[in-house]
Structure 1
Amino acid sequence: MSILGWRPFRPPLFTHFASDPFTLPRLTVSPLTALAVVLAFAVAMPVLSVAANLFDAGTSGTWAHLVDTVLADYILNSLWLCLGVGLGVAALGTGSAWLVALHEFPGRRTAEWALLLPMAMPAYVLAYVYTDFLQFVGPVQSGLREGFGWSKADYWFPEVRSLPGAIALFSFVLYPYVYLLVRSAFLERAAGTLEAARSLGLSRGQAIVRVLVPLTRPAIAAGVALALMETLADYGTVAYFALPTFTTGIYRAWFSLGDRTAAAQLAGCLLSFVLLLLLVERASRGRARYHDTSARTRNPRRPLTGLRARLALAGCAVPVLMGFALPAWLLVRLARQDDASLPFERFWHLAGNSVLVALVAAVLAAGLALLLAYAARGTRPQQRVAKVAARLTSLGYAVPGSVIAVGVLIPVTRLDHALGSAWQALSGSHPGLLLTGGIAALVYAYLARFLSIALQTMDAGFTRLTPSMDAVARSLGCTPGQTLRRVHLPVLRGSVLTAALLVFVDVMKELPATLVMRPFNFDTLATQTYTFAADERLGEAAVVSLAIVVVGLLPLIVLARQIGKGQKVSGC
């Protein structure tokens, strides 16, 4: 209806309007869109909570003391750690991807999936086993002194528990992030790019250096960014090496100094580091876009024989040896020592706690991610709102666990006290801590941190579903819930299981958030490993660590199967 040619403006989010153009429209919000907005707020709340305490001067003077004494060390050590780990993972990840994606040599197929194995080994476990292996009384230095008749003053040996040592350990554990992305980029672009470059007169080496490597820069930048986020989020390694970083400072301010405001301010500084890292990663790519417009016409791999083949295999074996094989052997060696006995009941109690919180978090994350990804499908206004909310929830993984823990604990503690007071006013008895006294707050912290992993997996699964499936289901009278249950779930079953598995494994290995958020007298495999190692009970720590490593191998088996399927499809 128009009045003198004028049509009333109809905002896209308003789905129902009165016939009178001067009547206020009525907003209809679908339950899925409301869920997406609530989830986005829930994931953003820890960050907002930390930000709200950034400029709180407090009354204890702890922040001023930290600024005058250790804040500069936190900043410098974090910067040097990021710089060293960034260079290390870029070199190891890109180099190993270059070897397996662009060369053919005996053992390449095994190396292609074996290079993923260090992802199963938490960095703090490497810190414990390598310190024991390389310390002054360890087998390496003891063997050198006995074999050559040296004394302590006759030789120099690098200190493992140092900043360079931490950089090396992080690099050997985190390079698979770069390897996975760069390997995929090489395989997607290598054949057509190399053929085009060779047709223009470039040699194979020139084509790789001048054309192919620049095309993989987004993959390298993304992999390095993921590795640095994990580095900044780590607590066990830097705490065991006595390196003053933001994560150790947050834990010290909260538990040793008892100042939650100072802990939140340190968490805000760490969050600023992460945001700066994301901005640098975005700026490094600029507005450049990289697309592969040619089909893979032939195998891009160059055959290697003789010495070159052996060197290529050795180049792939070194990171696997240092990041997984040697630490796994050292763990078994420590676990077989006489003093490594851990009571059977105690081990199963720790495993039960770990499985409980990991299973609850994994099921909730997979279910919520499924609903969120389904709500974000399509181009209608409400679906666009859900899509923006889904992107906001994806920021949770970029936030370190210690920041999430502080950001969750401050508002949840206040809510806990409010609920307790209300319950006492109604019943006359205080119920205790309802949220922080159990695992509810801990599971919430896990969801805020790891929901994005499940969401990304679910988004990848939804790409296999065409819009025509939804249209046919609607034409047959199916509601959105029935469409999701009867049409989508059978196709997405594998994605749901994969999402739950990835979250399960990450929760099992998570240390900083668990240390801060766990209820009283509630230990997991990760926290008990840290406690044993801090007490120098490395034999018992090895027993628990082996369980974590075995669980960490589960998603790698899935990835290895996908790599094997890709090789069969491509005929490589």
Structure 2
Amino acid sequence: MVVDEVKDHPGRDKKGLYWRVFRVINPWTIFAFVCALLIATPLITIFYYLFEGPSDTWHHLADTVLVTYILNSLFLVVGVSVLTLIFGVSTAWLVSTNTFYGRKFFEWALILPLAVPTYIVAIAYAGIFDYTGPLQRMSRDLGFNPGPDFFDIVHLQGVMFIMSFVLYPYVYVLARAWFANQSSSLLESGRMLGSNPTRTFFTLALPVARPAIVAGLSLVIMEVLNDYGAVKYFGVNTLTTGIFRSWFSLGDVSAAIYMCAVLMAVVFLILGIERWQRGKARYDLNRSGGKPLQRYNPSTGKKLLITLWCSIPLLLGFAFPVTQLIGWWWISDSSIFDPAFGLLVTNSFSLAAITSVLGVGVALLLIYSIKLYPFWLMRILGRFATLGYSIPGAVVAVGIMIPLLYFDKRLIDYLEGFIGPYSGLLLTGTLVGLVFAYLVRFLAVAYYPVDAGFRKTSDHFLGASRVLGVPPAKTLRKIYLPLIKTGIFSGALLLFVDVMKELPLTLIMRPFNFNTLATRAFELASDEMVTEAAAPALIIILTGIIPIILLSRLVSGNK
């Protein structure tokens, strides 16, 4: 490796530390440093502006609504965590270790709720439980009319219910991957000790699978804290809605910064607790030692109960809301061939495609730089580059908007000396700023699939290339790119879908009068034009189903 070459260089004693530092300062390491610095921009901005002191608006918010924001956010985190654990872990265990009716179908279908953004499910359920919705119409036809409060779902508990059945697949996917790839010796040990399947699950499988389960739960918590559309539509005040209120309604940058800081404190506290309880435990999704997993074969009655249990989250998280959206689209006057709708599709797909190409390119070069120079500082820079995914979208937007505004002002002041007075902005409120914010938020989505592809290749390729005098760039192009093309494609596809679904970041960073499918669906629903919101919502869902199928095949392929 290059680091070894630096260490063993014959001139090392003469030039000492300066020589070693000079050898590792090159375009590859500089690129990694710049990437990590740009990704950390939101955190640096928030940390810097905290020293300016709070404003009067912040003191007012802290005295009146801040406690409510925090308690609502924590209530959602706890409630959604419990429900996602119940349904995610149980369905993963049943699908992986039991034979029952429809098992092959549920293997991949239980991931489908991930294709539907939470704000779209919230819109659909508000319509399902509405006075004119199918549930109340059916109850009136049956002579059951308990009153409007009985069917009210637009409250904190309703948001918790919706988020749980949309986000449980994060836990399901990782838990199922572990259960499917674990050594069958665990289950065999349970059988030899006379344990029934339930006891084997609680005493053997569940404790060992804890790192995988907690990793999935961490993703669920990040999504709960990031959500804006569902809580806003249901009128639930959380820390994310507080950021929007401080920025847009109150127009106070300082209050928005402090609200971001509180939200990030909650995020890092939860991540710290997760790291602390996990300790040094790790999980390996590719481990497949021992005999093939022999599934339990329960009785006919238990098979029916398992099928029913697995149907509950699929129906509540995907089938019911999608059916409602299809019904709205069917009765609406909107057409997918309308020029305005075509512009929405073009905007969304163009943004997603540009971000996917740039994101995969940045991830590829960053990982290759770390592979070329695998010393501790480069590995730290790699971790910084994936930090954005743990930062809620609203925080990313505020943390990027402020330095962009400052840079725009300085740049315009400089250019006015050449072009005269200029009243516009060059980066803020433009597609450039929006794409940059997407990259900060979602680079990790492309990073990990590409990194997984690199991990499957041999380090001997680099050594052989150096012996032959082949430059690193040519080695990447000729050798590594063909070998990791699956990881590149997977990362690009996942990044594409995440950009398509993103709402809070887009609402803050988008150019004036610029809409995507996500923002337009939310705006129409907020204006009570839910039938018109169905078409863009369905396009987002259809786009999201593609990587869901890919993800299911990847998990199944590792058995």
SS at match of 1:57: coil
Moved more, 505-514 or 490-499: 490-499
Q: TM-score, normalized by length of structure 1?
A: 0.92
Secondary structure of 2:515's aligned partner = coil
Q: Is the counterpart of residue 546 in structure 1 residue 538 in structure 2?
A: yes
| Structural mapping, 1:8-87, within 5 Å | 20=14, 25=19, 27-28=22-23, 29-59=25-55, 61-87=56-82
Q: Please state how far the C-alpha of 1:139 moved relative to its aligned partner.
A: 2.3
Q: 1:233 to 1:14 in 2, by over 3 A?
A: farther
Q: Is the 8 A contact 1:33 1:385 kept in 2?
A: no
Q: What's 1:336 paired with?
A: 330
Question: Does the 8 A contact of 2:97 with 2:294 survive in 1?
Answer: yes
Q: Which amino acid aligns with 2:263?
A: L
Unaligned runs of 5+ in 1: 1-9
Taking only aligned residues, the RMSD between alpha carbons, in angstroms, comes to 2.4
Corresponding letter in the other structure for 2:188? E
Change over 3 Å in CA distance of 1:13–1:533 after alignment to 2: farther
CA contact (8 A) 1:177 1:226 kept: yes
SS at match of 2:353: helix
Among 127, 130, 137, which residue is 1:132 paired with? 127
Match in the other structure for 1:304: 298
Q: Tell me the residue number matched to 1:409.
A: 401
1:295 Cα deviation (Å)?
Answer: 1.7
The residue aligned with 1:352 is 346
| Contact 2:41-2:400 at 8 Å conserved across structures | yes
Distance verdict in 2 for CA 1:116–1:380, change over 3 Å = closer
Question: What's the CA shift for 1:307?
Answer: 1.4
Indicate whether 1:275 and 2:271 are aligned: no
Change over 3 Å in CA distance of 1:335–1:201 after alignment to 2: closer
Is 1:180 aligned with 2:176? no
CA distance in 1, matches of 2:18, 2:212: 49
Query: Which residue is 2:206 aligned to?
Result: 213
> How far apart are residue 342 of structure 1 and its match?
7.2
Distance 2:225 2:288 in 1: 39
Equivalent residue number for residue 428 of structure 1: 420
- The CA deviation at 1:317 is 1.3
- Say whether residues 1:454 and 2:446 are aligned partners: yes
Q: Distance in 2 between matches of 1:369 and 1:22?
A: 33
**Where does residue 7 of structure 1 map in the other structure?**
none
Aligned to 1:5: none
Equivalent-residue separation in structure 1 for 2:128 and 2:82 (angstroms): 25
The CA distance in 2 between the partners of 1:286 and 1:504, in whole Å, is 34
CA–CA distance in 1 between the matches of 2:361 and 2:345?
A: 24
Partner of 1:318: 312
Report the equivalent of 1:284.
277
8 Å CA contact 1:14, 1:27 repeated in 2: no
Q: CA deviation at 1:237?
A: 0.2
Does the Cα contact within 8 Å between 1:104 and 1:301 map onto a contact in 2? yes
| C-alpha distance 425-519 of structure 1, shift in aligned 2 (>3 A) | same
Instruction: Note the 1:516-527 alignment, pairs <5 A.
Output: 516-527=508-519
Give secondary structure in 2 for the equivalent of 1:302: coil
> Structure 1 401/205 Cα, relative in aligned 2: closer, same or farther at 3 Å?
same
SS at 1:405 equivalent: helix
What are the within-5 Å matches in structure 2 for residues 122-201 of structure 1? 122-148=117-143, 150=145, 152=147, 157-189=150-182, 191-200=184-193
1:423–1:431 CA contact under 8 A, matched in 2: no
**C-alpha offsets along residues 282-328 of structure 1, whole Å, 9 cap, x if unaligned?**
12212345679872313331113411111111111111111111111
Map of 1:3 onto structure 2: none
Measured in 2, the distance between the counterparts of 1:205 and 1:252 equals: 48
Give the superposition deviation at 1:142.
2.8
Find the aligned partners of 2:9 and 2:424 in 1 and give their Cα distance.
46
Which range moved further: 207-216 or 22-31?
22-31
User: How many residue pairs get matched?
Assistant: 553
Cα 1:53/1:195, change in 2 over 3 Å: same
Identity over aligned residues, as a percent?
39
Amino acid at match of 1:536: E
Corresponding residue to 1:470 among 436, 444, 462: 462
Offset, 1:102: 0.8
- Give me the whole-angstrom Cα distance separating, in 2, the residues matched to 1:308 and 1:466: 47
The C-alpha deviation readout for 1:30-61, integer Å capped at 9, x for no partner, is 211111111001001111111222343355x1
Which deviates further from its counterpart, 384-393 or 24-33? 24-33
Distance 1:429 1:234, change over 3 A: same
Partner of 2:490: 498
Counterpart AA for 1:444: F
Q: TM-score, normalised by structure 2?
A: 0.94
CA offset digits 1:56-91 (Å, max 9, x no partner): 3355x1101101111011011001000000001111
Cα 1:192–1:261, aligned 2, differ >3 Å: closer, same or farther? same
8 Å contact from structure 1 (residues 13, 27) kept in 2:
no
Q: Deviations over 1:473-492 (max 9, x none)?
A: 22332110010000000111
In structure 2, what is the equivalent of residue 391 of structure 1? Answer: 383
